[in-house]
Amino acid sequence: MAFLAQGYHAFVLRYSIKENAAFPAPLRDAEEALECIRANAGPWGVRPDKIAVCGFSAGGHLAAALGTMGRVCPNALILGYPVILDSLSHILAVSIPSLEKHVDSQTPPTFIFTTANDSVVPVNHSLKFAEALDQAGVPFELHIFQDGAHGLSLAKPHTSSGFKELVHAGVARWVELCAVWLENLFGGFAVEHEMPST
């Protein structure tokens, strides 16, 4: 909804979990979804060359995997407190690859946000990915907010499920920062016409 409010189309991927979650099954789901969106770009009013994939936590791992290991690749990545390193495989349903090892010059430009004191996905996941992007010459923007619990989402009351730990005015700025980043990357919305005189 936050991206719809910024004027972007938004799709939600329901990917394989639990007993069907063994990697790369979720990656195949993401590849199929991206191919479906691009195949229907015309009737759906989508710019097929301006597709960003967004993921949070374990979903951030999937989004980053699509951008680094996918047979098809989005045009941008948006990663919120993403799992990147295989060191967290022990808390997930299945083992996962360390994605910083798969970054290359073809990895899409990336927006990353996280918090320095995230106790579930340590900040070094984002730092390692950003370092790999830097070494590969891939444009990126990284925001590390000092405070904030894992799973902040939009960091606003209406997305907090009533938990005060998931509300943080500073971290809530990430959506605005990301919208500016997307506009710089993809360009703004066309405003070329004048209203007819009455």
Predicted local distance difference test score (pLDDT) of residue 195: 83
Q: How sure is the predictor about 192, in pLDDT bands with cuts at 50, 70 and 90?
A: confident
CATH number of the domain that residue 145 is part of: 3.40.50.1820
Q: How sure is the predictor about 197, in pLDDT bands with cuts at 50, 70 and 90?
A: confident
- 175 occurs within a structural domain: yes
- 104 occurs within a structural domain: yes
Predicted local distance difference test score (pLDDT) of residue 89: 80
Residue 49, φ and ψ in degrees, nearest 5: -100, 10
Q: Smallest Cα–Cα separation from 130: which of 96, 69, 176, 85?
A: 85
- 165 occurs within a structural domain: yes
Tens digit of each residue's pLDDT (9 = 90 or more) over 69-121:
999 999 999 999 999 999 988 777 778 899 999 999 999 999 999 999 999 99
- Spatial separation of the C-alpha atoms in residues 34 and 27, rounded to whole Å: 11
- 47 occurs within a structural domain: yes
- 65 occurs within a structural domain: yes
- 192 occurs within a structural domain: no
Predicted local distance difference test score (pLDDT) of residue 91: 75
Contact indicator for 142, 126 with CB cutoff of 8 Å = yes
- 193 occurs within a structural domain: no
Average pLDDT (192-198) is: 79
Residue 60 belongs to what domain range?
2-186
Asked if the model's pLDDT at residue 145 lies above 90, the reply is: yes
Percent of the chain with pLDDT over 90: 77
Sign of CA dihedral 177, 182, 187, 188: negative
Tens digit of each residue's pLDDT (9 = 90 or more) over 11-49:
999 987 777 778 888 999 999 999 999 999 999 999 999
- 197 occurs within a structural domain: no
How many domains, the chain?
Answer: 1
- Side by side, which strands form the sheet with 110-115? 52-56, 76-80, 110-115, 140-145
Average pLDDT (118-138) is: 97
- Spatial separation of the C-alpha atoms in residues 86 and 63, rounded to whole Å: 15
The predicted model scores a pTM of 0.93
- Spatial separation of the C-alpha atoms in residues 34 and 74, rounded to whole Å: 7
Asked if the model's pLDDT at residue 190 lies above 80, the reply is: no
Q: Smallest Cα–Cα separation from 132: which of 96, 106, 94, 171?
A: 106
Residues facing residue 77 across a β-bridge: 53, 110
